[in-house]
Structure 1
Amino acid sequence: SGIILKKFKVFAGEPAPFVMELPPYHWPTLTNLLASTWERGWSFIKRAGTLILASSIVLWFLQSFGIVNGSLSLVEDNNVSLLADLGRMLAWIFVPLGWAGDMAWKATVATFTGLIAKEEVVNTFGVLYAGLGEVSEEGTEIWAAVAADFSAVTAWSFLIFNLLCAPCFAAMGAIKREMNNWKWTLASIGYMCGFAYVVSLIVYQIGGLLTGEVTFNVFSVVAFALLGLLLVLLFRKGYCGRDDTIQTAMALESGK
């Protein structure tokens, strides 16, 4: 992605040197170690006890209740829950990535809760696949249900999209502070989401053809076209501006 971007005019130019002065390293003191451990641990406890807990409660409510016979009531099947209805409204976006069937809305909900914090993806799966039951640290209680919904190719598609797409809201805020420009902030977030979608689409469609899970379709054509475009952008000659042209001409004249 970096190689592709630097070949466009807006990112062209000589690379700026990066210089960082390293402090003298020494063994940490027990006081500093305990203070740092407490600060980081308490920070996680506050986030786990507020944001993550609150989102878990909301997720549990939405997946436990649904509209039955025109009224709000408890449902045993979370596929008819309020959360499923919300997920299905957006799940069509990810159909080319292989997110289909009952897993589509679950993967979609997990992806959007991942914008709160990436660990929310795991938390969401725990709620959706375990229901009211408890999940151990190893997650053995839900693996069978997850494996029934995800094939190897769709699992790669889901993981790749969530790893490459826009980070959590806190990281987005950091991007805004660093860039100090809403246009570049939105462009960065949009680029990450678009790049994630493209790579995930290529992986699912072409990987699915190789494994026999996908039959050749219009999205397969799109995937091959996008793969070709990425390769062209990756290996094409970069932007040559006026300064580069002058430097090249001077080098040729001097025989260098």
Structure 2
Amino acid sequence: FIGMAAIVVSGIVLKKTALFAGGPAPFIMELPAYHLPQVSSVFKSAWDRGIAFVKKAGTIIFAACVLIWFASSYDFSLARVTEDQSILAAAGRLMTPIFAPLGWGTWRGTVATITGLIAKENVIGTFGILYGQTGEISESGNEIWQLLRNDYTAVAAYSFLIFNLLCAPCFAAIGAIHREMGDSKWTWLAISYQCGLAYCASFVVYQLGHVLFEGGPLTLGTGIAVLFICGLIFALVKKPSRQTIPTIQVIGGSK
């Protein structure tokens, strides 16, 4: 629901900007004929998709998890250290202030979000590796939930989920965007918009949720979140920008 709402709101707001104003551009997408699926086709499609995921999990996701484990176990001198002194912790702390206003300004959450750009499944794998090294973890992994509760409140966790839902997708999806756009400029514009939208939505959810549901104090972030909502409402109700039609000046007369 949140993803669909973001698409609808983005379409309404962007349509009213000068960049996307004007008549609708033709876009043709071929759709297959609708018919009742055959049981054999369903099983074949499920098998193909399952094999594709296994290949993805066995290559990209596995390689990313190995890299994360190595970076969280060694420092820059390649000495075995605790994860708080590791390469990954140092890199994560550099970007932690960016996500602090969203309620999950921990280096583990930052690293998990960055690795999610490779594949969204990496977010779970990263948490499993990083929190799995903090203590004795049973085979079921139930202890990880308590460790997560120590770093994230309910609102902060919801903010984290919203950001990773709306931000730029994995590399494969970004490649598909580039093929559809046919232009690197528009591809980067789409990625920037997705990340910006995710940041703003996550920011508003945490800042207001922290005050309303967790009894947090009113801060500058709360005021910015309220202003953002007011700006969004204004953008939704304002009249769209008019398309300017260029005039053609004719020089000379007909003979």
Common topology (TM > 0.5)? yes
2:3 corresponds in structure 1 to none
Residue 94 in structure 1 maps to residue 96 in structure 2: no
Q: Which amino acid aligns with 2:238?
A: R
Residue 28 in structure 1 maps to residue 33 in structure 2: no
State the SS of the aligned residue for 1:73.
Answer: coil
Q: 1:235 to 1:91 in 2, by over 3 A?
A: same
User: Which of 188, 193, 212 is the equivalent residue of 1:191?
Assistant: 193
TM, length-normalised to structure 2: 0.82
Contact 2:211–2:218 at 8 Å: present in 1 too?
yes
User: Which of 121, 125, 128 is the equivalent residue of 1:126?
Assistant: 128
Alpha-carbon offset, residue 134 of structure 1: 6.3
Residue 73 in structure 1 maps to residue 75 in structure 2: no
2:114 corresponds in structure 1 to 112
Query: Taking CA–CA contacts closer than 8 Å with sequence separation of 6 or more, which of the two structures ends up with the larger relative contact order?
Result: 2
State the SS of the aligned residue for 2:197.
Answer: helix
Alpha-carbon offset, residue 181 of structure 1: 0.7
Deviates more, 1:206-215 or 1:50-59: 206-215
State the SS of the aligned residue for 1:66.
Answer: coil
Contact 1:110–1:120 at 8 Å: present in 2 too?
yes
State the SS of the aligned residue for 1:215.
Answer: coil
Deviates more, 1:183-192 or 1:18-27: 18-27
Alpha-carbon offset, residue 11 of structure 1: 1.8
Q: Which runs of 5+ in 1 are unaligned?
A: 244-256
Alpha-carbon offset, residue 45 of structure 1: 1.5
What's the Cα RMSD here? 2.4
1:40 corresponds in structure 2 to 49
1:84 corresponds in structure 2 to 89
Q: Which runs of 5+ in 2 are unaligned?
A: 1-9, 246-255
Q: 1:135 to 1:122 in 2, by over 3 A?
A: farther
Q: 1:66 to 1:212 in 2, by over 3 A?
A: same
TM, length-normalised to structure 1: 0.82
Q: 1:212 to 1:42 in 2, by over 3 A?
A: closer
1:64 corresponds in structure 2 to 73
Alpha-carbon offset, residue 232 of structure 1: 1.0
Identity of aligned residues (%): 45
Distance in structure 1 (CA, Å) of the matches to 2:151 and 2:70: 22
CA offsets, 1:2-43, max 9 Å, x none? 11111113222344687866525244253x445433322221
Contact 1:118–1:168 at 8 Å: present in 2 too?
yes
Residue 12 in structure 1 maps to residue 14 in structure 2: no
Contact 1:116–1:169 at 8 Å: present in 2 too?
yes
Alpha-carbon offset, residue 187 of structure 1: 0.5
Distance in structure 2 (CA, Å) of the matches to 1:236 and 1:200: 24
Q: 1:135 to 1:187 in 2, by over 3 A?
A: farther
Distance in structure 2 (CA, Å) of the matches to 1:175 and 1:3: 21
